[in-house]
Amino acid sequence: MKNLLIVAILAGSYQLATAQSWFPLSHPLSAGGTPATDTRHRGLFLNPALHAPVKHPQLYAEYESRYSITELASKGLAFAYPFSHFTVTAEFRYSGFEAYHELLAGVAVARDFGGKFGMGLQLVSDSRYSVETDRYYTAFYPYLGLTVPLSPALLLGISTFNPFLKKMKYAAAERTMPSVYSAGLNVKITESVQWRLQADKEISNALRVGSAFDISVSGSVFFQAGVSYLHFFVPALGAGFLVRRWRFDLTATLHPLLGLSVAGGLGYHF
């Protein structure tokens, strides 16, 4: 009985935590939840079009501690490889705990069209484990992205996840997964300062907005500060640095009800 109670509490906590964003593809490393135009490539499952300019093979690992609850942590890994005319990226993320967890996997193809615009398409597999039936339930969704440089200092990013309102069968129920449309701007204020603004709209939920300032010091040290709003204001602070081929990112987010989340990323380009 005690074990069942613990599982129920953790499952409820996991569902509450994920319900705060309603977007299955969370972006804990991009301050303010602004992945549509985060050209620093922080984290996994960003706007697929952002992979288009990648010039070298890259490996990136991500870890997020959610609200100081070990069982809610997520771990992810991504590998991007640029070919002559396009870039292929494979991404994986595991979140949850033994009795209630989710595995996301995605393969993206992105291409840059002569600097006029970038386009990306990712097929995302979402597998969720049900302890009641002791099996996984899987569904596949498209994730499309577009980036357009409106000027040398202004980048527009647009993406949509699950635009066809695909459903997932889970245990004895069937649920319609979120269909999310996102639009963002990246404004280059100076060579070392960027400002990102993003709005996300899920068809049956409220509008979420996010904003972040991104500062580069000597091209190797980065700082970001942002805030997002969906029912609550959620501030975030982040930092990162480059050392030769290595890269490290760290972002902390403070939810007024759920508490502190900390995410870290480690990358290497070949």
Q: At CA 93, angle to CA 262 and CA 131, rounded to 5?
A: 105
pLDDT at residue 12 above 50? Answer: no
Instruction: Determine the pLDDT at residue 152.
Output: 94
**Which residues touch 123 (CB under 8 Å, ≥6 apart)?**
106, 107, 108, 140, 141, 142, 143
Q: What structural domains does the chain harbor?
A: 2-269 (2.40.160.40)
CA torsion sign for 120, 20, 67, 102 is negative
Q: Are 9 and 203 in contact (CB under 8 A)?
A: no
Average pLDDT over residues 23-28: 77
Pairing type for strands 173-176 and 193-202 reads unpaired
pLDDT at residue 6 above 50? Answer: no
Q: Are 213 and 226 in contact (CB under 8 A)?
A: yes
- This prediction's pTM: 0.86
Inter-CA distances, 235 with 43, 199, 255, Å: 18, 16, 7
